[in-house]
């Protein structure tokens, strides 16, 4: 579950980075004291988003591992 969720998150980050690179001309008027192509900003935001996605995938998966499979099947 975590791996599949992280694949979606990574795909989203890659699509977002490509979209951000294409939208640099529009966004450059909104940025103050930061270059539009600042690699540190792109890297930090990407790592933060992937970290949030990892927690969002890991916490429910960890909780699901504590459930007894037979009791879960009986309730369905």
User: CA 16 to CA 43: how far, in whole Å?
Assistant: 12
Q: How far is residue 5 CA from its own chain's centroid? A: 9
The pTM score is 0.74
Q: Is position 28 within any domain?
A: yes
Note whether residue 38 is domain-resident.
Answer: yes
Residue 73 falls inside a structural domain: no
72 in any annotated domain: no
Structural domain contains residue 32:
yes
| Spatial contact of 58 and 2, defined as CB atoms under 8 Å apart | yes
pLDDT at 51: 94
Q: Per the domain annotation, does 75 fall within a domain?
A: no
- Domain region containing 32: 2-65
- 71 assigned to some structural domain: no
| CA dihedral of 44, 50, 52, 53, whole degrees rounded to 10 | 160
Spatial CB neighbours of 46, under 8 Å, sequence gap ≥ 6: 13, 17
Looking at the structure of the chain, the number of domains it has is: 1
Report pLDDT digits (tens) over 28-59.
777 777 777 788 888 999 999 999 999 999 99
């Amino acid at each position: 579950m975590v791996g599949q969720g992280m694949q979606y998150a990574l795909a989203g980050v890659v699509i977002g980075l490509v979209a951000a690179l294409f939208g640099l001309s529009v966004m450059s008027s909104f940025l103050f004291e930061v270059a539009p192509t600042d690699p540190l900003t792109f890297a930090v935001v990407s790592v933060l988003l992937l970290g949030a996605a990892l927690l969002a995938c890991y916490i429910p998966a960890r909780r699901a591992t504590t459930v007894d499979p037979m009791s879960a099947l009986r309730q369905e």
